[in-house]
Amino acid sequence: MKKGVLDILKGKFLVSGDAPKNWRFLLFISLLAIFMISSSHQADLKVKRISNLNEEVRALRSEFFANRRNVQQLKMESTLTLRVEGRGLRTSENPPQKIVVKSNK
């Protein structure tokens, strides 16, 4: 057992008679390790991108609600009255009436 561990540490398995078989296996293991590292890196990049997109969605949603609130306030009658008062316009004291046009056809 001790001799086997020392042979591995010294690298005798790389120069012995069946070394080509060992080299092919080491190359295969190295390629798998490179593929695994690359795959892990790509997954991390995707997670980071998803996080950034979620933050952007939250910011845009917040901006949307703020703009919607502002538009609702601008549509209110009291706000409109204050804005057009400077132009000499005021609200009518008589309610509007419906005009019906009859066709001669």
63-92 pLDDT per residue, tens? 999 999 999 998 998 888 888 888 888 888
The range of the structural domain enclosing residue 40 comes to 2-84
Give a yes or no: residue 95 inside a domain. Answer: no
Give a yes or no: residue 100 inside a domain. Answer: no
Give a yes or no: residue 101 inside a domain. Answer: no
Spell out the long-range contacts of 4-13 with Cβ–Cβ below 8 A and sequence spacing 24 or more: none
* 6-27: average pLDDT: 76
Query: What pLDDT, on the 0 to 100 scale, is given for residue 89?
Result: 84
Give a yes or no: residue 52 inside a domain. Answer: yes
80 Cβ contact list (under 8 Å, min separation 6): 74
Give a yes or no: residue 93 inside a domain. Answer: no
Phi, psi (deg, nearest 5) at residue 24: -60, -40
Does 36 score more than 80 pLDDT?
yes
Give how many domains the chain has, as a whole number: 1
Contact (CB, 8 A) for 32 and 38: no
Contact (CB, 8 A) for 9 and 18: no
Give a yes or no: residue 39 inside a domain. Answer: yes
Give a yes or no: residue 59 inside a domain. Answer: yes
Q: What would the pLDDT profile of 49-63 be if each residue is shown by its tens digit?
A: 999 999 999 999 999
Report the share of the chain in percent with pLDDT over 90: 48
